[in-house]
Amino acid sequence: MPAAPLGSPEPQILGQGLSRRGPVLAMVASALSFSLMGVCVKQVGGRIPAAEVVLARALVSVALSWWLLRRQGIHPWGQRRGLLIWRGAIGSVALLCVYIALAELPLASATVLQYLYPTFTALLAWLMLGERIGRRVLLAVAVGWAGVLLVARPAQLLGGPTPLAGGAVLIGVAGALCTALAYVSVRSLARSEHPLVIVFYFPLVAVPMSLPLVLLNPVLPTVTEVLWLLGVGVFTQLGQVTLTHSLTALPAARATAISYVQVVFAGLWGWWIFGEGIDAATVAGATLVLIATLISLAGAKGR
């Protein structure tokens, strides 16, 4: 059931006059932004520790979020501060796990582990928020998951020629679960908080959480790495703003099913920027992901 309006028919984040498809388009924009964030993380090359990447991202996002809040005259501290801090903490843990998985595992395997989160989100939203899991959403999740498996080549994950580190796999699964918990908390917060306030608390909590880890193993980035870290912060901020807008207007299960389109974006960047080949399995998987997105789009009509 859609969240109650937050003072106006549409939060003024993405501009005026968003259509009824606005939340769906916002989720697609979020997937695009997060895929570009992934490009920036890969460009850092694993030399910069994951906690340092999280801290850099958080510092950029705190500054951007504060500027947006002041620009729109929104009180930054919110009403349900305990849940806002929880959302920031669990989101920070999820981000750290994702970055570690990207650094320690092949990109394909890290992707398939992270994309366990739509299933987790649907189940948690049902258990914690009472959101009904309709057949259309279940179909979109199943089709999208099948596409992710094809694109990510699960043979590596299930015991390919190079065994994966068990600890890194568990971290990847933990990241997906924490991501789902964060998304469900956003749905709950949407009933009382402005989307920008929800976004602001994420990096606000991430800074003190990541700083002690950075101080244990500081690595001075090069000028080029600083630029890529700025890219991580900017694209993650864009992704968080559009994601939060979508989750305040769509049921969590449907919104995260739409996010499968990020796999298509990631495949395109891998081919264009990193010279990764696109084989028949990738094309078939991308097609299934597109079908899942279209199913979710159809489910958004009239709701």
Q: What is the pLDDT of residue 299?
A: 56
Q: What is the pLDDT of residue 107?
A: 66
Return the percentage of the chain with pLDDT > 70, whole number.
82
pLDDT digits over 3-26, tens only?
Answer: 333 333 333 433 443 455 788 888
Query: Mean pLDDT throughout 245-259?
Result: 79
Q: What is the pLDDT of residue 108?
A: 66
Query: Mean pLDDT throughout 125-148?
Result: 82
pLDDT digits over 55-97, tens only?
Answer: 999 999 999 999 999 999 999 999 999 999 999 999 999 999 9
Query: Mean pLDDT throughout 143-154?
Result: 74
Residues 6+ apart with CB under 8 A from 18: 10, 25, 26
- Report how far residue 144's alpha carbon sits from residue 31's, in angstroms, rounded to the nearest whole number: 14
Query: Mean pLDDT throughout 247-274?
Result: 80
Give the chain's length. Answer: 303
Say what the pTM is.
0.76
Helix, strand, coil percentages in the chain from 3-state DSSP, rounded to 5: 75, 0, 25
Query: Mean pLDDT throughout 250-264?
Result: 79
Cα torsion 72, 74, 232, 211: sign: positive
Q: What is the pLDDT of residue 251?
A: 80
pLDDT digits over 272-281, tens only?
Answer: 887 766 667 7
DSSP 153-217: -HHHHTT-SSPPPHHHHHHHHHHHHHHHHHHHHHHHHTTTS-HHHHHHHHHHHHHHHHHHHHHHS
3-state secondary structure of 269: helix
pLDDT digits over 20-51, tens only?
Answer: 578 888 888 998 998 898 889 888 867 899 99
pLDDT digits over 186-243, tens only?
Answer: 888 988 999 899 999 999 999 999 999 999 989 999 999 999 999 999 998 898 888 8
Q: What is the pLDDT of residue 15?
A: 41
